């Protein structure tokens, strides 16, 4: 099961073959605050009788979203989602107070608006009465797993989601209570961190429940990524991550060094803006995303000089407050549906290409690059990423990869062996002649992002 930002997806997979047996989904409410009960309702709706019929299951979910519980395990307020920017300054304050080295040595990241450690500081400053009542802090997969088990035992998590909190160390394999005290002013209860293949418990119906994991780790599990494999995921958000044997410290703070759902790490760059950029542009043009894809493919490679800064929902990387997107380089000749469609694709592709370069500069040149997510349906986007990165992109088959990763974890727990499921990848190579224009496009986007004029010859 994958409890993502937009919906709960349930897949039933044959443990031996990896064949899809059943799939279902249920929507989540919009917004950057959600009562966790809505996620539980969606899980029950999408899961139905499956929750009692299968032999083993595991839950993955959106990372960072913060659930606050009181003394009796009650939810104190709506969960603050990963894409909420309110704690941006709180995270920056934590970095100033303790210094970059302290954060990079411990959790391996610099806290920003998404990390629970920043939300605890924000809560302490803006909702002090409620902050005083917080006894336990969970992430969505922790809370859903605990709920599935009847909320009888101590809540549990796994190393991938624990590493996304900002107060758990991959190197030490433990929570850093000092960081929690510094942020909230006191300690709170944290979920037990289970081994990736260990069971969290058994449901009342006798179904074995796995440790679960964060959605990025689950996607790497679904792809059976190896050390050096880079994964670009374009869904609601866009992420670029690489599987490595050990964590990597990035002093710029752009890269979070999170744990995977095995024994390694997945240094990752997370951006708020993903496929919604293309969807929003299609809505503005009054066409479908599929139609936009065809328009973008027909346009001039440089979009006639149009530059779209893709920060429509604000941004984490680079930090931008809400509503900081822009469409620049307007001219009468360039203001066509084809050029606007192409500009939206290039804006997203340039952000992804920058992340690929930044991650490669720290973690090393990728062994191969795999593309997944709803955005991977766009042929124009696939080709633009290949062109702008000057690298071959391997597109994975369309499916719910995070949910498949959770299923693979459940099969691993059930059988004691990591299953080998077939995966067919489709390569997309840089187009002939892309080297003559791709560098100019990327330079124009960088200049626009820095506030300088964006021009293309």
Catalytic (active-site) positions: 215
CA 268, 273, 279, 282 dihedral sign is negative
The enclosing H or E element of 213 equals strand 213-214
Distance, CA of 215 to CA of 3 (rounded, Å):
9
Alpha helices in 329-400 (DSSP H): 337-363, 379-389
Query: Is the separation of the CB atoms in 355 and 240 below 8 Å?
Result: yes
Tokens of 26: 């249920």
- What are the start-end ranges of the E strands in 256-306? 256-259, 265-271
Cα dihedral 103→106→108→109 (10° resolution): -30
Smallest CA-to-CA distance from 76 within 31, 110, 20, 120 is with 120
Question: Are the C-beta atoms of residues 434 and 387 closer than 8 Å to each other?
Answer: yes
The residues, ordered by sequence, that sit 6+ positions from 203 with a Cβ below 8 Å of its Cβ are 51, 52, 148, 149, 150, 209
**Dihedrals phi, psi of 299, to nearest 5 degrees:** -75, 165
Q: Torsions phi, psi of 329, nearest 5?
A: 75, 25
SS3 273: coil
Residue matched to tokens 């059988």:
415
């Amino acid at each position: 099961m994958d409890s993502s930002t937009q919906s709960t997806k349930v897949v039933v997979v044959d443990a031996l073959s990896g064949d899809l047996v059943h799939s279902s989904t249920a929507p989540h409410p919009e917004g950057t605050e959600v009562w966790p009960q809505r996620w539980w309702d969606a899980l029950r709706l999408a899961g139905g009788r499956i929750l009692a019929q299968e032999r083993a299951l595991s839950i993955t979910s959106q990372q960072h979203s913060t659930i606050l519980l009181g003394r009796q395990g009650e939810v104190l307020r709506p969960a603050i989602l990963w894409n909420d920017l309110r704690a941006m300054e709180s995270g920056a304050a934590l970095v100033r107070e303790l210094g970059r080295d302290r954060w990079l040595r411990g959790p391996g990241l610099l806290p920003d608006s998404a990390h629970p450690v920043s939300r605890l500081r924000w809560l302490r400053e803006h909702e002090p009465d409620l902050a005083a009542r917080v006894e336990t802090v969970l992430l969505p997969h922790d809370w859903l797993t605990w709920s599935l088990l009847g909320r009888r035992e101590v809540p549990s998590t796994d190393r991938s989601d624990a590493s996304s909190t900002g107060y758990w160390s991959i190197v030490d394999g433990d929570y850093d209570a000092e960081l929690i005290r510094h942020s909230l002013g006191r300690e709170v209860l944290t979920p037990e961190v289970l081994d990736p293949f260990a069971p969290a418990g058994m449901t009342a119906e006798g179904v074995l429940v796995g440790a679960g994991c964060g959605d990025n780790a689950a996607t790497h599990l679904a792809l059976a990524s190896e050390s050096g494999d880079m994964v670009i995921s374009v869904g609601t958000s866009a992420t670029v991550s690489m599987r490595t044997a050990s964590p990597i410290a990035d002093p710029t703070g752009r890269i979070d060094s999170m744990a995977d759902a095995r024994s390694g790490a997945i240094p990752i760059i997370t951006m708020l803006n993903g496929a919604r950029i293309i969807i929003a542009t299609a809505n503005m043009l009054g066409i479908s995303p599929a139609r936009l894809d065809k328009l973008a493919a027909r346009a001039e490679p440089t979009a006639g000089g149009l530059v779209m800064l893709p920060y429509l929902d604000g941004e984490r990387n680079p930090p931008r407050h809400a509503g900081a997107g822009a469409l620049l380089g307007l001219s009468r000749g360039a203001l066509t549906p084809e050029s606007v469609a192409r500009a939206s694709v290039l804006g997203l592709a340039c952000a992804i290409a920058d992340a690929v370069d930044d991650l490669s500069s720290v973690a090393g040149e990728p062994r191969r690059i795999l593309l997944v997510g709803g955005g991977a349906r766009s042929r124009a986007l696939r080709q633009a990423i290949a062109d702008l990165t000057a690298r071959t992109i391997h597109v994975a088959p369309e499916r719910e990869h995070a949910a498949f990763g959770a299923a693979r974890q459940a099969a691993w727990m059930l059988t004691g062996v990591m299953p080998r499921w077939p995966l067919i990848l489709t390569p997309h190579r840089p187009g002939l002649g892309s080297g003559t224009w791709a560098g100019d496009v990327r330079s124009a986007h960088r200049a626009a992002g820095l506030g300088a004029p964006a021009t293309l010859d």
